[in-house]
Structure 1
Amino acid sequence: MTVLTISPESSPLVHAAAAAVLYLHIGAGSVGILSGAAAFVFRKGTPLHRLIGKIFVVSMLIMSGIGACVAPFLPTPERASVIAGILTFYLVLSSWMAVKRKPGQIGGFDYSLLLSSLSITGAGAYFFWLAMQNPRGMLDGQPGAAFVMFMIIGSLAAVGDLRLILKRGVTGATRLARHLWRMTVALFIAANSLFLGQPQVFPKAVQKSGLLNVPALLILALLLYWLGHVGYGASKRRRLHKSAGLQGA
């Protein structure tokens, strides 16, 4: 995110407020990325993991909320940043609710999540269509492919939200997987916004080395590992239960 467009004639208080918003966005994003990485390191379910998780949620909500609200007022409005902010906010909030709420429960909030994921998917499709109307296939300086990502993630999220509503809640491995993939994709978006979206803040040597691609690849690898781990664990438990049932028969 670049600086807000502030008139030179504006009062010092307005300029100070704009700077505060920018630094809060940057600071919250940095804390979110660090706490998200730490959440993968510490043992799941421990008090320390839960504390880090809370820090991650608060910092990411602040970062994404500011990003979504400020992006339309940048020198060059960035509609992709608006969707990215809303999507990240949605993913973090729904991920947190997946473990905060008791298993097998739903409420009006879950219907609002479904509406949000469908809206994100629709907005991504609309902006992709606008980009395709441009001879260069661009919108606000972003390629149309950027909006395809929002369509894919939004569609997957919408399917999960609909499934949760139809099944009247999720439990076990499905509940944990819902928490994991949403948190990790939110972290992936935040990391890309920093390392690939703002490469100018890093030394030239780092920019040319390709190292800025490493965080995103590492986060995706962790996502695949944990989803596989959760799925394998659930499959193993089912086999054990089935075996125990047969022996009991």
Structure 2
Amino acid sequence: MSFRKGSLRHVLAGKVFVVSMLTLAAAAVYLAILKHQTPNVVGGLLTFYLITTAWLTARRRDGETSRFDWVALLIPLAIGIFNWVYGLKVLRGGANSVDGVPVGMMLFMGSICLLAAAGDVRMLVGGGVLGAKRIARHLWRMCFGLFIAAGSFFLGPSNRPLRLLSEVGLGKHLSPAIFGTTLYLILTILPLILLIFWLVRVRWANASKRYLVPGD
């Protein structure tokens, strides 16, 4: 995000990010299936969908769509419906979490999925997205996919960050007190903070262009 849009470094960083995230999401789905962890399967599929559609949005020209988009929107639609139906079923059963995932988070993610599906339908019916809307679509999907991955890593079980650093020999040089909930929460919501910042910046820049008078 720190590189100028369209520059060689921006394109290269984007490719590395997309490949890394898609690989991570695919691996997460595979491992979650082996361990019968339904929430992680859903999270991995959603991340894969978000990053893929964010990448396609950036690569395409204004107003460009394809048949793939009609197929892709089935993913957030199915996940959104599943999360709400299953989440409400769990609540009626008296529980408040599934495999450590709070039901509230399931309903929140289900709502995000349904909004994403609605955005896909709106894009397809309207003949694609243009200008600032295309950039906004790219940004929110990329950042939200990163948010899901960050939440899984930092807020997952067994203190994954500390365990990872310990395995590479760095954990012993750092105080365990650093690796607390506060730090993990900050790092988890950081993608959302960046998302809000860039969406506001994109919208503001677009609004400024509308009122720009030639010759001023």
Shared fold (TM-score, shorter chain, > 0.5): yes
Amino acid at match of 1:162: V
1:19-48 Cα distance to aligned partner (Å, 9 max, x none): xxxxxxxxxxxxxxxxxxxxx222222111
* Stretches of structure 2 lacking an aligned partner (at least 5 in a row): 163-174
Post-superposition shift, 1:128?
Answer: 0.7
Q: What is the rounded CA distance, in whole Å, between the counterparts of 2:180 and 2:135 in structure 1?
A: 38
> Which residue of the partner structure matches residue 136 of structure 1?
95
> TM-score, normalised to structure 2's length?
0.87
Q: Which has the higher contact order (CA 8 A, sep 6+)?
A: 2
Question: Residue 212 in 1 paired to residue 173 in 2?
Answer: no
> Which residue of the partner structure matches residue 17 of structure 1?
none
- The equivalent position to 1:176 in structure 2, one of 129, 135, 150, is 135
Q: What is the rounded CA distance, in whole Å, between the counterparts of 2:72 and 2:124 in structure 1?
A: 10
Equivalent runs, 1:1-249 vs 2, <5 Å = 40-74=1-35, 77-198=36-157, 200-201=159-160, 202=162, 204-208=176-180, 210-240=182-212, 243=213
Q: What is the rounded CA distance, in whole Å, between the counterparts of 1:173 and 1:183 in structure 2?
A: 15
Amino acid at match of 1:66: A
* Stretches of structure 1 lacking an aligned partner (at least 5 in a row): 1-39
Residues 209 and 191 of structure 1, relative CA distance in 2, 3 Å threshold: closer
Q: What is the rounded CA distance, in whole Å, between the counterparts of 1:191 and 1:129 in structure 2?
A: 26
Amino-acid identity (%) = 36
Amino acid at match of 1:42: F
> TM-score, normalised to structure 1's length?
0.76
Residues 143 and 72 of structure 1, relative CA distance in 2, 3 Å threshold: same
RMSD (Å), alpha carbons: 1.8
Greater CA drift, 199-208 or 165-174? 199-208
Q: What is the rounded CA distance, in whole Å, between the counterparts of 2:55 and 2:180 in structure 1?
A: 37
1:33-73 Cα distance to aligned partner (Å, 9 max, x none): xxxxxxx2222221111111011111111111121122132
Rg larger in structure = 1
Q: What is the rounded CA distance, in whole Å, between the counterparts of 1:217 and 1:101 in structure 2?
A: 29
Amino acid at match of 1:63: L
Post-superposition shift, 1:209?
Answer: 6.0
Q: What is the rounded CA distance, in whole Å, between the counterparts of 1:117 and 1:208 in structure 2?
A: 32
Q: What is the rounded CA distance, in whole Å, between the counterparts of 1:125 and 1:89 in structure 2?
A: 20
Post-superposition shift, 1:157?
Answer: 0.7
Q: 3-state DSSP class of the match of 2:65?
A: coil
Q: What is the rounded CA distance, in whole Å, between the counterparts of 2:180 and 2:98 in structure 1?
A: 26
Q: What is the rounded CA distance, in whole Å, between the counterparts of 1:234 and 1:167 in structure 2?
A: 20
1:84-116 Cα distance to aligned partner (Å, 9 max, x none): 101000000000000112211111011112222
Whether contact under 8 Å (1:114, 1:158) holds in the other structure is: yes
Amino acid at match of 1:229: R
1:161-199 Cα distance to aligned partner (Å, 9 max, x none): 011101111110000000000000011111111111145
Residues 99 and 133 of structure 1, relative CA distance in 2, 3 Å threshold: same
